[in-house]
């Protein structure tokens, strides 16, 4: 069952951005033509994204303003580009004012020679907050006036999975949330001073957004201990009163290593690409490896694009779930009630999307593996407790009930006809345990591990049955920049996989219920409760 809510954007933190050429503002002659090496000045205001969003309907209004360390702007790069998105002129502001506080207008100066041949033209406007050195090179004004032309398809590659400059505290990389254009003046004579700059976007503010996503985690049950529930409406009801599942660790799989500096959306199949376009319920966010994802069978270099590949469990980077609750708590959203409290910042990762509905495959979708162990519960018999604590023999689950060791399972079959037949099939008909309907958990380092797999949902169409032909929809499984995915585990309904490799087949068992609230940073919320 899924509950889906979406809110309208509310509020935004206003930032005025200005720039200069790192030189004092010298007086300009009141008369005469603008000289080629003279600066002309442009005024621009900036804010965080306040897009409405069109993914799912909702009556709830919830916001996620983010932490102060995620909203500080210390440098701003402005780029003016032509219809082909070639760099025409660029300027950078260093030591920019903090975004906290009142609205500010700032001014950026650029050499007149860069725009003198473009008077009256319509140009695209791009802004990058806290830009990298690669981006800042776009604003290097060489003596002959030559600038790096093509920047629209530049790719940022993460330096690491745990830490990266793209999400450095107080220096988050941000870029356009929308597309913007300006018409340059026919005459620059009136814009030769910081005090009389050209209003680049008129009264509009240029909205920016963070280039990475954030995941938060909330521990619902004490020590992450869950019964194996038998009723979704009564989580504490169980057919396994002797045991609990304790979730211990989690690892991201298929986490992207890179992203475009400038976001883009398009139609299915990487067509009609729109730079900085609005995301809708039907279009697709296009990422750096979209073309490879159109032909998964022949994508031999997948390892170069992802951290923690699904096919390689040894590459997974595990985080202790209890330690996440020691991270910074973020409750500045919603109504700050019991539902919204308790989320802790987990980690930042790059966006990962698929360019078609059918290519939303587990092999390339970002997911999270939850590792758990089977432990005695309060009502555990001494025999079962001994078996679990010794962890010397395999234990067996049949029809979602844990019976213990093989001898314990056969004994239970004396009063359970279906179980007795299954045991007979193994011992006499030589069927494998799996063929007879058993799931076998072998002891590993003194515990019985089981694994649960969650594939991150970004969009939802309300269809729960994975066998339904319309189960998938555009961007159902994705991670998209500037979104905060707030996760919690509501319940566990089946024992997990006995090993750490997910099946390629669609799993019809509702093993785990993950609630995810998807909040674009600062301004939007919709909620999905999914079963996977």
Question: Which candidate, 506, 521, 423, places its Cα nearest to that of 468?
Answer: 506
Residue 136 placed within a domain: yes
**Comparison of pLDDT for 308 and 340, the residue scoring more:** 308
Termini Cα distance of the chain: 11
Rg (CA), the chain: 28
How many Cβ atoms sit within 10 Å of the Cβ of residue 37? Answer: 11
CB 496 within 8 A of CB 519: no
Q: Does a structural domain hold residue 467?
A: no
CATH number of 147's domain: 2.60.40
| Per-residue model confidence (pLDDT) at position 447 | 96
Beta carbons within 8 Å of 89's beta carbon, 6+ residues apart = 79, 80, 110, 111, 114, 115, 118, 147
Q: Which residue has the tokens 């009556």?
A: 59
Strand 483-492's sheet: what is its strand order?
A: 5-6, 526-531, 512-520, 483-492, 213-218, 343-349
Predicted local distance difference test score (pLDDT) of residue 10 = 28
As to burial, measured by CB atoms within 10 angstroms (0-12 exposed, 13-18 middle, 19+ buried), residue 185 is: middle
CB atoms within 10 A of CB 223: 13
pTM over 0.75: yes
The pLDDT of residue 403 is above 80? yes
Asked whether residue 114 is assigned to any structural domain, the reply reads: yes
Domain region containing 138:
5-213
Least confident piece of the model among 11-20, 75-84, 401-410, 500-509: 11-20
- Residue with more model confidence, 65 or 456: 456
Asked, for residue 417, whether it belongs to a domain, the answer is yes
Q: At what angle do helices 417-427 and 406-413 cross, to 10 degrees?
A: 130
> What pLDDT score was predicted for residue 7?
32
Cα torsion at 491, 493, 494, 500 (round to 10°)? -30
Structure token digits, residue 420: 């007795």
Task: Work out how many domains the chain is built from and give that number.
Answer: 2
Residue 380 lies in a domain: no
Confidence of residue 305 (pLDDT cuts 50, 70, 90): very high
Domain boundary, last residue among 383, 407, 441: 441
Report whether 111 contacts 141 (CB < 8 A).
Answer: yes
Give the pLDDT of residue 400.
93
Q: What token pair was written down for 495?
A: 């024992």
Q: Among the three residues 213, 231, 247, which one is the final residue of a domain in this structure? A: 213
Tell whether 297 is covered by a domain: no
How do residues 193-246 score in pLDDT, each as one tens digit? 988 999 999 989 999 999 999 999 999 999 999 999 998 888 999 999 999 999
Among 187, 213, 239, where does a domain finish?
213
Q: What is the mean pLDDT of the chain?
A: 85
């Amino acid at each position: 069952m899924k509950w889906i809510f979406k809110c309208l954007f509310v509020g935004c933190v206003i930032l005025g951005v200005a720039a200069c050429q790192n030189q004092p503002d010298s007086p300009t002659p009141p008369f005469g033509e603008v000289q080629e090496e003279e600066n002309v000045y442009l005024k621009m205001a900036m804010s965080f994204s306040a897009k409405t969003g069109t993914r799912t309907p909702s009556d709830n209004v919830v916001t996620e303003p983010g932490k102060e360390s995620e909203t500080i702007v210390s440098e701003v790069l402005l780029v003016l580009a032509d219809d082909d998105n070639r760099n025409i002129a660029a300027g950078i502001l260093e030591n920019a004012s903090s975004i906290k506080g009142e609205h500010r207008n700032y001014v950026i100066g650029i050499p007149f020679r860069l725009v003198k041949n473009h008077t009256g033209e319509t140009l695209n406007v791009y802004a990058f907050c806290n830009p990298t050195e690669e981006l800042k090179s776009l604003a290097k004004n060489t003596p002959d006036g030559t600038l790096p032309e093509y920047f629209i398809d530049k790719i940022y590659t993460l330096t690491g999975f745990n830490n990266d400059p793209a999400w450095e505290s107080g220096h988050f990389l941000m870029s356009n949330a929308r597309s913007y254009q300006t018409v340059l003046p026919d005459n620059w004579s009136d814009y030769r001073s910081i005090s009389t700059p050209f209003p680049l976007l008129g009264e509009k503010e240029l909205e920016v957004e963070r280039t990475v996503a954030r995941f938060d985690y909330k521990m619902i049950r004490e020590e992450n201990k869950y019964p194996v529930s038998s009723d979704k409406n009564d989580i504490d009801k169980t057919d396994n009163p002797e045991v609990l599942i304790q979730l211990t660790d989690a690892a991201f799989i298929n986490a992207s290593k890179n992203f475009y500096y400038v976001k883009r959306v398009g139609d299915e199949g990487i067509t009609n690409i729109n730079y900085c376009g609005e995301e809708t319920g039907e279009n697709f966010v296009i990422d750096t490896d979209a073309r490879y994802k159109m032909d998964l069978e022949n994508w031999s270099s997948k390892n170069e694009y992802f951290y923690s590949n699904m096919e390689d469990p040894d590459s997974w980077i595990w985080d202790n779930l209890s330690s996440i609750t020691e991270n910074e708590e973020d409750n500045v959203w919603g109504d700050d009630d019991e539902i919204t409290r308790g989320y802790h910042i987990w980690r930042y990762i790059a966006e990962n999307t698929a360019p078609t509905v059918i290519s939303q495959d587990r092999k390339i979708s970002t997911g999270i593996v939850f590792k758990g162990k089977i432990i005695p519960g309060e009502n555990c018999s001494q025999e079962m407790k001994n078996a679990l604590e010794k962890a010397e023999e395999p234990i067996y689950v049949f029809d979602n009930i844990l019976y213990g060791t093989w001898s314990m399972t056969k004994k239970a079959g004396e009063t359970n006809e279906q179980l007795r037949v299954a045991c007979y099939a193994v011992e006499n008909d030589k069927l494998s345990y799996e063929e007879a309907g058993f799931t076998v958990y072998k002891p590993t380092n003194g515990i019985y591990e089981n694994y649960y797999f969650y594939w991150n949902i970004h969009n939802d169409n309300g269809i729960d049955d994975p066998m339904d032909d319309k189960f998938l929809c555009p961007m159902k499984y994705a991670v998209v920049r500037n979104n905060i995915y707030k996760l919690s585990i509501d319940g566990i309904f089946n024992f997990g996989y006995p090993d750490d490799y997910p099946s390629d087949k669609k799993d019809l068992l509702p093993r785990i219920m993950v609630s995810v609230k998807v909040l674009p940073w600062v301004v939007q919320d919709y909620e999905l409760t999914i079963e996977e």
